Homo-oligomer: A and B are copies of this chain.
């Protein structure tokens, strides 16, 4: 009898696992680090303000790992306090995206990493100067040599290392992941109702997969227009197709509680407002106050364990290192 029970339990567990496998959202796996030296080097470069013209702005400035991988501003602050054109997307779980940037103009994290360094409105540097800077420091030279071979400080390897570090920035073990893995008590009844609503209303048609987003492009304002002062054209800027106007990469909803303000224009500060806007303009629906509350509770269950980062100690500049130019412009 006892043994039969065990068998029954095993069958139930198998059924439960099979059911979970059909969920539109999958768990985030912890990072598997296969090249720790590359990750460590990438971390140094991610926190390296000398990849910017001013010597002040690093990747972490706008993708702050203390703040959910964002700057928590509507649009970012760039070189000389220039106002950025679009909301900074989170670097957390970014590897799950089908491409990078809101308009998907970079095919992967490595391609993305080179963008801000050379963007005059962001880090304001050049790839040539970034390479000169890194290559001027023996401590960096040695690390590049050990990983990439001799004389290997170049922009491809700089961005490769940054991307390898970024791939480790995943946030597993959110309450919702624990639930997906079978711990039914990991989330409240309210969260469960919110998840059911999230599926029933059709949110999962765009927000699915391990990152609860990032798997496709979609028009912002599918049913009703999205009202914004932000001039971003979305995919149209990449493809040139009029049909791609206002089509953006569907953002991840992982850690959405942390990555306010919302949407590509960063004009929406609360999850309640964001949820209602999405329901209205993408699905043509109006949520009741109770539904909004449940949906928000579900979204907050997607906040995972944040990466534990030991701040890197960067090597000192020397006479060969290009000097920062913070105030020349």
Contact = CB atoms under 8 A, between A and B. Distances in A.
Interface string A249-264: 0000000011010000
Interface string A290-329: 0000000000000000101111111011010001101100
Contact of A73 (B56, B260, B309, B316): B56
Contacts of A327: 83
B77 A49 contact: no
For the residues of A in contact with B, the DSSP-based class is loop
Interface residues of A, number: 40
B314 A311 contact: no
A319 to B, nearest CB: 6
Given A71-B55, A324-B73, A326-B73, A66 B312 contact: yes
A314 B259 CA distance: 12
A179 interface: no
Given A68-B316, A310-B309, A77 B257 contact: no
A155 interface: no
A318 B66 CA distance: 16
Contacts of A74: 326
A65 B311 contact: yes
A54 B77 contact: yes
Nearest to A311: B309
A200 B80 CA distance: 46
Interface string A62-79: 001111100111100100
A260 to B, nearest CB: 7
A263 to B, nearest CB: 16
B323 A269 contact: yes
B306 A66 contact: no
20 contacts: A49-B64, A50-B72, A54-B73, A56-B61, A56-B71, A56-B77, A66-B313, A68-B316, A72-B317, A72-B324, A73-B324, A80-B81, A81-B81, A83-B326, A260-B316, A270-B319, A306-B313, A308-B311, A309-B311, A310-B311
